[in-house]
Each structure stands twice: as C-alpha cells, then as structure tokens.
Amino acid sequence: MKKKLLSLLMAASMIASLTGCGSNDTNGKSSDDGTYTVGICQLTQHVALDSATEGFKDALKEEFGDKVVFDEQNAQNDSATCSTIINSFVSKKVDLILANATASLQAAVNGTGDIPILGTSITEYGVALGIEDFDGTVGHNVSGTSDLAPLDKQAEMVKEFFPDAENIGLLYCSAEPNSKYQCDTVKKYLEEMGYKCEVYTFSDSNDISAVVTKAASSSDVIYTPTDNTVASNANLIDSICLDKKVPIIAGEEGIAKGCGIATLSISYYDLGYTTGKMAVKVLKGEADISEMPIEYAPNYTKKCVKSRCDALGIAIPEGYEIIEE
C-alpha cells in the first residue's frame, strides 16, 4: 500500500533535512513581506501544458495580485532537467511547487517531502507515483488535478467514426507511464469491440519518425493518448499519417489539432485554474494538502477537426463540435 511513494517521500525528507528546507510546512507560508513564491516546473512546451500553466497562474493572481511571484521553468522534455529545476526550487525554499506533467511530478516527489506539491496534466496519480490501490488521495505533501477523460468513451469514438475498420494502432512514448496506462486500457475496450490492436512505442523523439511510419503502414486507424512527446511532435506525425491517409483519434485537443481528426476534449486552462484554486487554499492555510483528493475536469466534449476529416474523406458523426483552427 503506497510503498513506492512512501519510500520516495522518506528519501525526499532526508534531502530536505540536508539542504535546510525545513522552514516550509505542507500548507505553505509567505515570506516576511507577505509575498508567496511559487515554483512552476513544466515538462515541455505544447498547447495543453501551456494552457494549464496559464490557468494556474491566473487563479493565483486573481487571489494574490502582485503578492505572488512565479519562478517558471521549462524542462524541454527532459526528466533529468526536471530534477535540476526542482532542486533549485528546494534551495530557494519556494512556498509551493506546481508540477506540470508526470515527469515533473515524479521529480518533485523525489526532491522534497516538505514543500507543498500540486500536480496538473497528470493522467493517473497511482500510476505516476507507483501507488498500489490508489484511493484518490496521495497524502503527505502532494495533491493536484488529473486530465483523464473517460477511456471507454475514447474507444467508442473509434467505433463511431470507423465501424468497419479492422486494425487499430496504439501509438505512444514508452518513457511516459501514464501513456502506457491509457493505451493498455483503450486496447482492452477496442478488442472487446472486435478490433485487432497493435502497440507502437518510441523511446523519445529520435525514433518517432520510424515508429510512426511503421504504425501508419500497418493500421487503418491510430489512437494516441495524452502523451507529451506526441504533442511536441504532432506536425511530424501529421505529415506521415496524412501522406498514408491514416486518421488519428487523439487523447486531447492539442494533439487533435496537430495531427488528429477527433478527441474527447477537456479544457487544460480550466484544469490549471482548478489547480490554482487548490494552491490558494494551501497557501492561505485553508486546506491541508495531505487530505486534498485529486480533482478532475468537470466536463468532456466530443470535438473534431473538420479540415482534416475533409482531407481524408471522413464523415463526421452527429454530436461533434468543430475545433477552431
């Protein structure tokens, strides 16, 4: 029960004691002049994560105005850089850390058991942090928001668009555990519907072109989840799959815009804003972060990219909102 997380937090607490960051408690506190410093570690730059960070900052600025200062850093899709960024936040004794995406969250949990950590754009916290029998609350100094849209509904979208397809390719980065979780779950649903599924993984952006080419050559349709490496390489994926006339159902709207035909969409801005409201409660001492359950996006919308559907000769089912391009 939560063995891996507890071991990470124990190690983080030892690091904290050695680096002298014990002045922050798990509910945060402002500096002597009443200003809060919030460290933001964003894994990489793409529309979804950018929107989540923007929403988070807006919620805090609405509450604190110029009394909140952001130390915002981007890891350029490198997990080692996430650790370096988190260590700098610990050294600076920031009041709270926003970990935007899974690798950022993992680095933050490894880096401090003391400073409050809120995650966002995390699909499943139990998978991300190795928590067995995850019950919806991480505990200790960690909470946040999840970007998980119902995976059974995503699988049903494949059936709505392509009832006569046979071979579905599932494409994701093997370095992202939540991507594997999503694809494993969607694969189960698709196989129950009678589709043949094949998994195609790449380790990083260096081998994505070869893997996508193979997937597009062998698949009638491709599904890709909320995957940061896919999002960062959407234009490359689009050029390969459009050339081979293979449509993509995407796990989030940014990827759908870049290379897909449809998605079950959440608002990442709203997700980040919700995370920001959680941060306000933590910083003001109105909530104990160890008792805050993970929050989810309240609404999901079926959306499609009409221009790409038109280019591939795909009829759009009823009930889909057109994504503005």
On whether both 83 and 94 belong to a single domain, the answer is yes
Contact 145, 296 (CB under 8 A): yes
On whether both 175 and 83 belong to a single domain, the answer is no
The most confident of the ranges 4-18, 234-248, 291-305 is 234-248
On whether both 209 and 317 belong to a single domain, the answer is yes
pLDDT for 321 beyond 70: yes
Which residue(s) pair with 37 in the sheet? 69
Which residue(s) pair with 201 in the sheet? 172
On whether both 160 and 132 belong to a single domain, the answer is no
Distances (CA, A) of 169 to 13, 15, 44, 224: 43, 43, 25, 8
What pLDDT, in 10s, does the model give residues 169-191?
999 999 999 999 999 999 999 99
Which whole number is the average pLDDT over 257-286? 96
CA distance 197 to 220: 10
Contact 117, 27 (CB under 8 A): no
On whether both 253 and 275 belong to a single domain, the answer is no
On whether both 218 and 192 belong to a single domain, the answer is yes
Mean pLDDT across the chain:
91
pLDDT at 21: 39
Number of structural domains the chain divides into:
2
The two three-digit tokens of residue 170, written as one number? 């599932």
Greater pLDDT, 11 or 80: 80
pLDDT for 83 beyond 50: yes
On whether both 288 and 238 belong to a single domain, the answer is no
pLDDT for 298 beyond 80: no
Helices (H), the chain: 3-19, 47-64, 79-92, 102-111, 125-129, 151-161, 177-192, 208-218, 228-232, 234-243, 253-259, 268-283, 306-312
CATH number at residue 168: 3.40.50.2300
pLDDT at 276: 98
What φ, ψ does residue 179 adopt, rounded to 5°? -65, -40
Least-confidence region, from 61-65, 183-187, 208-212, 266-270: 266-270
Percent of the chain with pLDDT over 70: 90
On whether both 259 and 277 belong to a single domain, the answer is no
What pLDDT, in 10s, does the model give residues 14-61?
444 444 333 345 565 555 678 999 999 999 999 999 999 999 999 999
Contact 132, 149 (CB under 8 A): no
Percent of the chain with pLDDT over 90: 85
Which whole number is the average pLDDT over 212-220? 98
pLDDT at 299: 85
On whether both 196 and 314 belong to a single domain, the answer is yes
DSSP-assigned letters across all residues of 227-288: -HHHHHTHHHHHHHHHHTT--EEESSHHHHHHH-SEEEE--HHHHHHHHHHHHHHHHTTSS-
On whether both 278 and 221 belong to a single domain, the answer is no
This prediction's pTM? 0.81
On whether both 204 and 315 belong to a single domain, the answer is yes
Structural domain span for residue 95: 3-147+268-293
pLDDT for 268 beyond 70: yes
pLDDT at 304: 97
Which whole number is the average pLDDT over 147-152? 92
What pLDDT, in 10s, does the model give residues 85-133?
999 999 999 999 999 999 999 999 999 999 999 999 999 999 999 998 9
On whether both 205 and 312 belong to a single domain, the answer is yes
